[in-house]
Amino acid sequence: MRCVAAKAVPAASGKEKLVRFTMNKTGSVKAVAVQGLLLAVMTSCCLAAANATPTNDAAHITAASWAGTKPPVSFKLGGKDSSELLPRWERAETSAPAAGGAVRKISFADPTTRLRVIAEVRTFDKFPAVEWLLRFRNDGASDSPLIEDIQPLCWSADAGKGTVTVHHARGSDARLDDFEPLADPLPARGSLRLASRGGRSSDGALPFFNLPIGDGGVIGAIGWTGNWAATCLRDEAGRVEARAGLQRTRLRLRPGEEVRTPRILLLNWRGDRTAAHNLWRRLVLAHYTPQVNGAPLTVPASYGVWGADLCDRHIARARRLKEQRWPFDVFWVDAGWYGHTVAKADATVYNTPWHLNQGNWWPSTNCYPQGLKPLGDVLKELGIGFLLWIEPEVAKQGTTLLTEHPEWFLRTKDPKSALLNLGDPAARRGITDLVSKIINDAGLSWYRQDFNIAPESFWAAGDAPDRVGATESHYIEGLYAFWDELRARHPGLQIDNCASGGRRIDLETISRSVPLWRSDYPCVPRWDPIGSQAHTIGLAPWVPLSAAVCVAAQQYTLRSAHAAGIVFDTGMNAVNPLGDAWLRLALEEFKRVRPFCYGDFYPLLDHNLRADSWAAWQFDRPDQRAGVAIFLRRPGSPFTAMEAGLRALDPKARYAVEVRSELGPAPVQHMTGAELSGLHVTIAEKPGSALLIYRQE
């Protein structure tokens, strides 16, 4: 068993190179405490390297759980528990092949009320996983009895007497600690509740968890873009129960009405928890990520500008990208381009009333006198994608959409804002046509949807006492239908999912979109690149694809933002101008790193938020026998060096290794896998960074 650790080393002399990599002679390292500071490895990195494999243990769940009349779900109908009802209902089943597996539809019908519960259960050929959701449909002639406490996940396993720890993560909250990994032990006769807040799925908590039991466990996801809750309970005998579903359901279904539950995905694993998360990443990339030509989409390098500026200035910026040979994938126009906005040369999120025009979704004639088409045409000519920000679910008092179609909106007592009711077919058709026209007119390749409002109070206002949860359920299904229709109308269109920065990250949204602005923390004054580092380390085990933000022309800031995608924020909240030559080299480096971000992820140091420490992580592509490792010495760190061991390498194989301190290519060294597993990394500057790129020879 070998752990990776950081170790203090005497300060470097002025003659010493900025970055130095050497082999640790012993080939093994230990965590070392220096001056009261311990930089310990993440617990998962200390586990023995092993494959995460399927098992038939009682602690695991498979499609066989659906074979009888007691599936792993729970609800109440007319006050009676589903465990009592389902064995007496009519059961029918069909099966059909699906991409990479199969889908079974299992129907349970109440012969008295004609309420039908339909389970859609999916299995996979190459992954030890099972996924399902429930649909409740009233096939009767009158309202159904009350349906309450719908839990599409209700599963238990014998955990014995050992410690059971639930691993999960914070959600996004515009904070330094967004996506922070959390581990909560379950005491005997204890419980743990995880839940979203306000109606956005990753506001407060990520809807993912890992429940290790014995020598394995289950990784789970709750696919719902509204309010969800999950509870883990443990009894005196050591049995653990996991329940998950909507936070509030107490409703009668009208004749012919149907609602669905959150989607549940569970992956069984045995062995190393880090290996299990990498198996999870592969599952998500294969089956829960937008695909292009049979492969996951490429997350772009984006050039970001604020929308409240003159179209001609944007066109001049776009032409300069080409002239300077900056290989940006996307030209990103953020909020402020619409309604009655007045153009400002120094427009930012802080000095324009962008939020007051929500609901006036036409290009401002002050900024775009001929609409968005001239900019779109130039970007197409230059071979650069066009991304545009829209927040279609929100309208402000007095705006055109709300004035002309008040029946499309949900309201509360606050008259300032209204919520477009995506559960209303007429409202959904109207907004789909409107956004589709914008996409056509501008020639968009990326549609950026923001959502800066907590919808829970609007949904509650739309519910009758015997319809609690109905408005939310129809709304969320409407959101999926809206996105699916846009993608069907515009083949090749990609969606950037932003909700105050990453507050709608869940299994359903990542299947249709990518969070290119995963946290609003970069909008906070005195934003710190430590946030980008910590957000990557926290989010990557659960969600493979996201983008980070670079706002300063520094290698340390750039490497803090290395992820599957990157946003160079030049016009929204930039700290200093990004120089021409620097930006060209920075983009070249990002594009070297990007393919590896689609591989396995290894945190080489514990997630921490301290300015007096280091951060380090590795992306490895087993299919390419290559990868990258990123090392970052934070500004307050007294340590000039660390000892680190790369993961997933063949100790006997030889690797071509490129070590970059400055931007641009570096001399290639040749090292064995064993040598790379015992590195001595020196960074003299603080803050400072190093990038290691390796490939098996």
652 CB-contact burial (10 Å; exposed 0-12 / middle 13-18 / buried 19+): exposed
Predicted confidence at residue 527, as pLDDT, reads 85
pLDDT score of 44 more than 90: no
* CATH class of the domain defined by 63-271: mainly beta
Taking Cα atoms as reference points, which of 506, 512, 516 lies closest to residue 543? Answer: 506
- Residue of 189 and 30 predicted with greater confidence: 189
The arithmetic mean of pLDDT across residues 538-542, rounded, is 98
- How large is the C-alpha radius of gyration of the chain? 26
37 in helix, strand or coil? Answer: strand
Residue 36: pLDDT band (50, 70, 90) is very low
Strands 565-569 and 301-305: parallel
CA–CA dist 493, 430 (Å, integer): 19
The arithmetic mean of pLDDT across residues 520-525, rounded, is 88
The arithmetic mean of pLDDT across residues 544-571, rounded, is 91
Of 193-202, 464-473, 520-529, 627-636, the least confident: 520-529
Taking Cα atoms as reference points, which of 389, 321, 394 lies closest to residue 356? Answer: 394
Predicted confidence at residue 359, as pLDDT, reads 96
- Element of type H or E holding 260: strand 258-260
Measure the CA angle with vertex 576, ends 571 and 579; round to 5°.
90
Residue 12: pLDDT band (50, 70, 90) is very low
Query: Phi and psi for 523 in degrees, rounded to 5?
Result: -85, -10
Taking Cα atoms as reference points, which of 326, 627, 387 lies closest to residue 514? Answer: 387
311-323 and 373-382 helices, crossing angle to 10°: 0
Predicted confidence at residue 58, as pLDDT, reads 59
Of 451-455, 549-553, 590-594, the least confident: 549-553
CA–CA dist 477, 47 (Å, integer): 41
CA 531 → CA 271, 299, 520, 576, distances in Å?
31, 20, 10, 18
CA–CA dist 399, 416 (Å, integer): 10
Contact (Cβ atoms closer than 8 angstroms) between residue 545 and residue 565: yes
315 CB-contact burial (10 Å; exposed 0-12 / middle 13-18 / buried 19+): middle
The arithmetic mean of pLDDT across residues 280-294, rounded, is 97
- Show Cβ contacts of residue 37 under 8 Å, excluding neighbours closer than 6 positions: 610, 612, 613, 638
The two tokens of residue 154 are 């209700």
Give the CA count within 13 Å in the CB-facing half-sphere of 232.
Answer: 26
CATH architecture group of domain 299-568: Alpha-Beta Barrel (3.20)
Residue type, 276: A
Predicted confidence at residue 162, as pLDDT, reads 81
Residue 525: pLDDT band (50, 70, 90) is confident
Of 129-138, 282-291, 520-529, the least confident: 520-529
pLDDT digit string (tens) for 592-617?
A: 999 999 999 999 999 999 999 999 99
pLDDT digit string (tens) for 351-401?
A: 888 999 999 999 999 999 999 999 999 999 999 999 999 999 999 999 999
Query: Phi and psi for 83 in degrees, rounded to 5?
Result: -65, -25
CA–CA dist 582, 275 (Å, integer): 37
Q: Residue ranges of the domains in the chain?
A: 1-41+569-697, 63-271, 299-568
Predicted confidence at residue 601, as pLDDT, reads 98
Predicted confidence at residue 76, as pLDDT, reads 98
User: Where are any strands of DSSP class E within 563-687?
Assistant: 565-569, 600-603, 614-621, 626-633, 641-644, 654-660, 668-672, 679-683
Predicted confidence at residue 348, as pLDDT, reads 84
CA–CA dist 293, 283 (Å, integer): 18
Percentage of the chain exceeding pLDDT 70:
90
Peptide bond into 667 cis (omega under 30): no
CA–CA dist 499, 392 (Å, integer): 12
CA–CA dist 567, 560 (Å, integer): 12
- Show Cβ contacts of residue 403 under 8 Å, excluding neighbours closer than 6 positions: none
CA–CA dist 659, 661 (Å, integer): 7
Residue 556: pLDDT band (50, 70, 90) is very high
Contact (Cβ atoms closer than 8 angstroms) between residue 388 and residue 334: no
Terminal CA-CA length for the chain: 27
The two tokens of residue 204 are 């407060």
Contact (Cβ atoms closer than 8 angstroms) between residue 205 and residue 170: yes
Predicted confidence at residue 190, as pLDDT, reads 85
Number of Cβ atoms within 10 Å of the Cβ of 325: 9
DSSP 432: H
Predicted confidence at residue 577, as pLDDT, reads 55
pLDDT digit string (tens) for 53-98?
A: 433 355 688 888 888 888 999 999 999 999 999 999 999 999 999 9
pLDDT digit string (tens) for 322-334?
A: 998 999 999 999 9
The two tokens of residue 683 are 């960074």
Contact (Cβ atoms closer than 8 angstroms) between residue 505 and residue 543: yes
Query: Phi and psi for 139 in degrees, rounded to 5?
Result: -90, 5
Average pLDDT value over all residues in the chain: 90
Predicted confidence at residue 227, as pLDDT, reads 98
Predicted confidence at residue 51, as pLDDT, reads 46
Taking Cα atoms as reference points, which of 358, 134, 125, 415 lies closest to residue 249? Answer: 134
The arithmetic mean of pLDDT across residues 96-111, rounded, is 96
Predicted confidence at residue 67, as pLDDT, reads 84
Unique residue bearing structure tokens 């839940």: 195
pTM of this structure: 0.92
Number of Cβ atoms within 10 Å of the Cβ of 485: 16
Predicted confidence at residue 62, as pLDDT, reads 83
CA–CA dist 132, 266 (Å, integer): 9
User: Does 1-41+569-697 match 63-271 in CATH topology?
Assistant: no
CA 104 to chain centre: 28
CA–CA dist 192, 529 (Å, integer): 32
Residue 350: pLDDT band (50, 70, 90) is confident
Residue 346: pLDDT band (50, 70, 90) is confident
CA–CA dist 295, 457 (Å, integer): 39
The arithmetic mean of pLDDT across residues 549-570, rounded, is 91
Per CATH, domain 1-41+569-697 is 3.40.50.1970: no
pLDDT score of 164 more than 70: yes
Residues in the chain: 697
